[in-house]
Each structure stands twice: as C-alpha cells, then as structure tokens.
Amino acid sequence: MGELFLIYTAKVSGILILFYGIYQIFLTKETFYYHNRQFLLGGIIASFVLPLVQIPTYIEVSPVTIDVAGLSTAAAGEMSGMASFDFLQILVLCYLIGLTYFLGQFIGQLINLYSEFSAGTKSKENGLTYVQLADGKKPFSFFKLIFYTPRGYTSQELRTILLHEETHCRQWHSLDVLLGRLVAILLWFNPVSWLYQQSISQNLEFLADEAASSEHALKS
C-alpha cells in the first residue's frame, strides 16, 4: 500500500511539474488572467486524476518451466525484500513527518485567522463581512471576509484596496488559494508544488487588479 501511494504521489508530482513548465514558458507573460486561472486549476485536477487512469494491456502468457535448483536462493531473495521494505517504510515515515509539519503550520494560520476575526470590528455590506484590523496590518480577504485597516490610507486608496479585496471575494479566489496550499502540503517534498501555489496567488492578484481597475474606471 505504501509503495503504491509513493508511486502515485511521484506521478502527481511529475504531471504538476509538466503543467508548471507549460505555464511558465507559454502563459506567465500573457494577460489572459482568467484563462490562466482555468489552466492552473485544470493542471491540479489533471495531476491527481490522470495517474488513476488505467489503460488495459494484454500480455501473452507463455508456459513457465520451474527451475528447482533456483529455489535454494529463496532465502536470499526474502532478505533483499525485507531490506527494500524497510527502506519503503522509512520513505513513508519521512513523508508523514513532513506532511504533519506543514499541515500543523497551516492549521496554526487558520487559528490566527480566527483570532483576527474575533478581535476585529465587524460590519456587513452587500453580502460581505468587513473586519477592521489593528494598525500596521496589511489588508487581505478570505472567502466572504475582508480584513483591512483604514489608517495610513487616503479615502481613495482605501476604496481601491477594498475594490481589490471585494473582487477576490466575489470571484471565489480563496478556493484557488486554498486548493493550491493543500496541494503544496500534500506534495511538500516537491519544490514545484510551492512554486505552483505562488503562481496561482500571483495570477489571482493580477485578476483582482484588472477587475478593480475596470470597476474604478466605470465609477470615476
């Protein structure tokens, strides 16, 4: 079971690397941010689904002649199998340790997010909840929640920031970010999984900037 799982994760990593390479070579400099979003999400889905697809193969079976003399080497073969099994267990253990660490880190961030939400001053408007943070903290959004601080910005700057975060909320960008983070956690051993997550976040920022600029121009 452990061997099959490691093979599966290796295949997932390989396909994800392929999609990331295509994105970096052909799409990263393009301004079709909506299509880039679809491509990056499609890459994640394909990476996890394609390794599960089995193509049936037909192999002609020939009669096998048993070599009785070769049976004397069975004990040595068993010892070799035990050694490889122990190595496999070590790999699985290392993977689980890394997974536990990064998953714990992520859970800690969610707890901090809840603390920010609980401590902030909240107001609701147009289906969104605005949470006013303490001074010095950067604005961000999470699903239908917008965290911000009004101090340090002009009214126009604050409106632009809120338009940006509202775009993230209304287009459900948090789903992409959350999915990208979970993939990076599951494939923590693959550096490309973290780069893939960064590409998702960066493209969403471009998408929100574009939408916020268009809306701001219409209201001006």
In whole angstroms, what is the distance from residue 146 CA to residue 168 CA? Answer: 9
CA atoms within 13 A on the CB side of 60: 1
**Tokens encoding 188:** 């923590």
Which run of H or of E encompasses 200? Answer: helix 191-219
Which of 102, 95, 137 minimizes the C-alpha distance to 10?
95
The SS3 assignment for 32 reads: coil
Tens of pLDDT along the chain (220 residues)? Answer: 678 999 999 999 999 999 999 999 999 998 999 999 999 999 999 999 999 998 877 667 666 666 555 555 554 555 555 555 688 889 999 999 999 999 999 999 999 999 999 999 999 999 999 999 987 789 999 999 999 999 889 999 999 999 999 999 999 999 999 999 999 999 999 999 999 999 999 999 999 999 888 876 566 5
Residue 105 lies in a domain: yes
Residue 151 lies in a domain: yes
Q: Which domain holds residue 167?
A: 2-26+33-44+89-219
**Tokens encoding 34:** 């909506």
Residue 96 lies in a domain: yes
Residue 186 lies in a domain: yes
Residue 139 lies in a domain: yes
Q: Write down the pLDDT at residue 211.
A: 87
Which of 74, 60, 21 minimizes the C-alpha distance to 199?
21
In whole angstroms, what is the distance from residue 36 CA to residue 191 CA? Answer: 21
Residue 78 lies in a domain: no
**Domains in the chain, number:** 1
Residue 79 lies in a domain: no
Instruction: Please state whether the predicted TM-score (pTM) of the whole model is above 0.85.
Output: yes
Residue 161 lies in a domain: yes
